[in-house]
Amino acid sequence: MAETEGTYSATGRRKTAVARVRLLPGDGSFQINERSLEVYFGRETSRMVVNQPFEVTNARNRFNVVANINGGGISAQAEALRHGIARALLFADASFRQPLKKAGFLTRDSRAVERKKYGRHKARKRPQYSKR
């Protein structure tokens, strides 16, 4: 959903992490929870995951990213941000759909933690069996 001309916003999710993303015309800077990309995501892998939609669409330095992320862990937050950026890029340019879809960035990864069942230690782990 485009808020104002040139500003595009979307929501990305992964496990329990939720990323609210706004793309603004700019030079490619990131502001995540009022911190830079390098400060917020210390691992190079997480930063690479976040930049993947821009790599696929060759839109690296066209947009500034302002994001608010909460819930989940570091890896899930990075993937939620990637999902949000990919969805926002669709509003910016509809021709990005095919490369983003092919790379799998538009699909919400629905895998989440399975609930614990009664009579079990965890979701599937049973109590130890005793023959005698």
Q: What is the pLDDT of residues 35-71, one digit of tens each?
A: 999 999 999 999 999 999 999 999 989 999 999 999 9
Average pLDDT taken over every residue of the chain: 94
Inter-residue contact 19 to 88 (CB < 8 Å): no
Least confident of 3-7, 14-18, 59-63: 3-7
For the residues 29-36, what does the mean pLDDT come to? Answer: 96
pTM of model > 0.85: yes
Q: What is the pLDDT of residue 132?
A: 87
* Residue 60 belongs to some domain of the structure: yes
- Gap between the Cα atoms of 1 and 5, Å rounded: 11
* Residue 78 belongs to some domain of the structure: yes
CATH of the domain at 71: 3.30.230.10
Percent of the chain exceeding pLDDT 70 equals 97
Residue 43 tokens read as: 């691992």
* Residue 31 belongs to some domain of the structure: yes
Domain count, the chain: 1
- Gap between the Cα atoms of 87 and 79, Å rounded: 12
* Residue 61 belongs to some domain of the structure: yes
